[in-house]
Structure 1
């Protein structure tokens, strides 16, 4: 290997473009929660709980609540600034949100059904969310899940003549092939419109034909499950251990879920998508020194449904929670 230095000059556009975000499953728990959070912060809302007054914030957001190292000062100390001040970024309150759902409820009804946000906050948001109605979505019963963003479809088959190339996939869509999933249809539509597509679910939305089409059109696509909770913690811990020269040989985890995600994952085909995604999350971190035989950590993921737990996860995130509701953790990933 020969080191090479290349001096690069680049200029960042200072003007901030308008940004729109369309959510597949907008009327679900995550879609209604992220929309409510954007509105609550835009309107600087506050509400009362038994612990006192709470005020909307962006805790948990990478762009709005984290810092980055700008450089070193004259005294040799690192200087950190808010991430959002490093580059011109769109104000989250100015994001235009829209989307689709197989349920026709407006966002106010969806928020109430989700039962994620404090009741007093819901009452303040209700008049604003009542005006927001999801567009009619794609209904494919064989792939159906509780909600699409950050939830789970079953894996679809990857077959030659079905979805192995862009042209083959487009032909499969034209003839309404049953094994083309709804998430793949949305991804293809987004690419054809020249819009970036982010997949927040663990199923194989990006079949070879979708990747081929995105490369042909020059459209960015990304995402393989948001991994916002337990999986994120495991990723951080394993990365720390491996970088310290410690070899994890086995990881066994349990998810206790009482929400729609839990009920959705009770279906074997849907659970398979999640199991593959979670089990493989630590594989990329293993190195050839600790694992010379090419083996990976023995990683087992289990899921049990307990209705009483609902969405509860202990953490501290935006909108004033010390007991995190699962959609709150996922919503910060959007922002």
Structure 2
């Protein structure tokens, strides 16, 4: 497979099967000795190896017939077929807007005409969404075309074009345990497995094997995009270890459907991603994944309001404003909203949405004491009429200088429209119109995230690394923390810190991919400060000082160690299968 670009460096080598890149990971260890805080630079030399052969990928969705499942399947089909359709505002064409990998760019470096940007997907060989093959399960028996119509997400002219393709797709019977989801979902449940719990898990395993064989895919990734479940209690002897969890399944004790799917996927060697907020990954499931060296990731798609919250609180606290109150209100009318109208299911979502600001607050002891944090209230209401059109209202109140307060109110709706304002105090020269920010339908935000989760997970399965101290190649920890950018409540290895600040999460993905094929990580701003004389640029300041390098004729680049961005990996809880150094917590 031809690469979009080649790295001309002695630290990067290409073979038929692999890209190998050597990279020195530099960080800083801080400790106290005799009352003095000491900062010690330290570094580890890595060799990263990435497989160049991109497999044929199959994705099995739990909840395939829901709004997200039908929308992401339809989107891939529409892109693969090159479809377009008319709306009242003109012709639309299929695209992957909203996908980090397909629709955003990264700065590759500096060229004769300035900074050079490439799509995220070009940093390393990745699966293209158009090539993904879908299958899955649902408690509803509707075929995908009928389910797409029920979802009311896509324009009807597009649905008509997709209908003959999607009516052939029918979800497999799914696991249904009524007490884990809202009672109002029972009317949909006409496509469910029967028999003992262990037998149902075995059927899911057979389904995975059947799909892999019948479709001819090389790999399968299983992703939960079904209803939010209530939380499970962590009970010693029930789900606290892998052995206890497997015994609980054999005995038919309390295990949630999402955990049963996780166990089946792990036993089949398939990565499993949880797109809902419940605690699918009980300790026994995490241990089982580690034993089988299978990736797991989650929790809960980070698509709209929570993504904005992680950016806005980072901005407020980073600007030195003490955010004291966050109130988030939502209403929606799709089946997700219907399920969340039940108190236990709402509680799962409330926890997921509320924890997103914790790390930003804890990182600023100037503003917040050890037990100090903002008041945080989350409200979700079910309003059938608005369908998949999710509405959100957020209010952020912060303390500012000399006892003052500042309040920011944000209203997201599903339309961009101009509304006349009745305020007589509008400043001179300012049009008397209020622009209401637009917010795409909920499933159109979640669908590209589903694709990114699957593609990133598959890529990580082809990456291994070694150090000078441990020359044997190894893979990442089974808890795949690189997915944090895409999840409301990022799953990290036990004891590792959780990072929710959105741009730190994005920098982590960008630099992790750079280490594998482009051994110089970049800062959050690609344009480097220029030297006063000559055509020099300063790429970063590091603990080891700047060092010269050979660069193209348009200038000499002085490359330092980008300490601040490299530290992202330490902050994440990125943990390898075995520890590789005193300052590493990958």
TM-score, normalisation: structure 2: 0.54
The aligned residue for residue 267 of structure 1 is 342
The aligned residue for residue 281 of structure 1 is 356
Q: Kindly report structure 1 stretches of 4+ aligned residues shifted beyond 6 Å.
A: none
Residues in 1 aligned to 2:226 and 2:320: alpha-carbon distance in whole angstroms = 33
Residue 203 of structure 1: how far off its partner (Å): 0.5
Contact 2:106/2:119, CA 8 A, preserved across alignment: yes
Residue 184 of structure 1: how far off its partner (Å): 0.4
The aligned residue for residue 123 of structure 2 is 86
The aligned residue for residue 333 of structure 2 is 258
**Residue of 374, 382, 400 corresponding to 1:305:** 382
The aligned residue for residue 235 of structure 2 is 159
Matched, 1:17 2:75: no
Residues in 2 aligned to 1:127 and 1:213: alpha-carbon distance in whole angstroms = 41
Contact 1:158/1:164, CA 8 A, preserved across alignment: yes
Q: What CA RMSD, in Å, does the superposition of the two structures yield over aligned residues?
A: 1.8
Secondary structure of 1:333's counterpart equals: helix
Residue 181 of structure 1: how far off its partner (Å): 0.3
The aligned residue for residue 319 of structure 1 is none
Secondary structure of 2:322's counterpart equals: coil
The aligned residue for residue 104 of structure 1 is 141
Structure with the bigger RCO (C-alpha within 8 Å, sep 6+) is 1
Residues in 2 aligned to 1:19 and 1:257: alpha-carbon distance in whole angstroms = 33
**Residue of 97, 106, 109 corresponding to 1:59:** 97
**Residue of 76, 82, 87 corresponding to 1:49:** 87
The aligned residue for residue 448 of structure 2 is 332
Contact 1:202/1:224, CA 8 A, preserved across alignment: yes
Of the structure 1 ranges 145-154 and 48-57, higher mean CA displacement relative to structure 2 is found in 145-154
Residue 296 of structure 1: how far off its partner (Å): 2.2
Of the structure 1 ranges 148-157 and 87-96, higher mean CA displacement relative to structure 2 is found in 148-157
Contact 2:66/2:226, CA 8 A, preserved across alignment: no
Matched, 1:290 2:327: no
Secondary structure of 1:186's counterpart equals: helix
Matched, 1:170 2:246: yes
Of the structure 1 ranges 107-116 and 323-332, higher mean CA displacement relative to structure 2 is found in 323-332
Number of matched residues?
A: 328
Residue 150 of structure 1: how far off its partner (Å): 6.0
Residue 74 of structure 1: how far off its partner (Å): 5.6
Unaligned runs of 5+ in 2: 1-28, 30-39, 189-223, 391-412, 416-437, 452-586
The aligned residue for residue 197 of structure 1 is 272
Residues in 2 aligned to 1:125 and 1:102: alpha-carbon distance in whole angstroms = 23
Q: Deviations over 1:17-52 (max 9, x none)?
A: 111111001011110110000000000001111112
Residues in 2 aligned to 1:6 and 1:70: alpha-carbon distance in whole angstroms = 24
Secondary structure of 2:60's counterpart equals: strand
Residue 205 of structure 1: how far off its partner (Å): 0.4
Residue 118 of structure 1: how far off its partner (Å): 0.3
Matched, 1:142 2:258: no
Residue 215 of structure 1: how far off its partner (Å): 1.2
Matched, 1:242 2:317: yes
In structure 2, the CA distance between the partners of 1:150 and 1:133, relative to structure 1 (3 Å rule), is closer
Residue 122 of structure 1: how far off its partner (Å): 0.3
Of the structure 1 ranges 85-94 and 9-18, higher mean CA displacement relative to structure 2 is found in 9-18
In structure 2, the CA distance between the partners of 1:72 and 1:244, relative to structure 1 (3 Å rule), is farther
Residues in 1 aligned to 2:350 and 2:439: alpha-carbon distance in whole angstroms = 25
Residue 315 of structure 1: how far off its partner (Å): 6.2
Matched, 1:34 2:72: yes
Contact 1:151/1:202, CA 8 A, preserved across alignment: no
Q: Deviations over 1:26-82 (max 9, x none)?
A: 01111011000000000000111111211100100111000012223367x443211
Secondary structure of 1:324's counterpart equals: coil
Residue 86 of structure 1: how far off its partner (Å): 1.1
Matched, 1:226 2:297: no
Unaligned runs of 5+ in 1: 317-321
Matched, 1:128 2:173: no
More strand by share: 2
Residue 294 of structure 1: how far off its partner (Å): 3.1
TM-score, normalisation: structure 1: 0.93
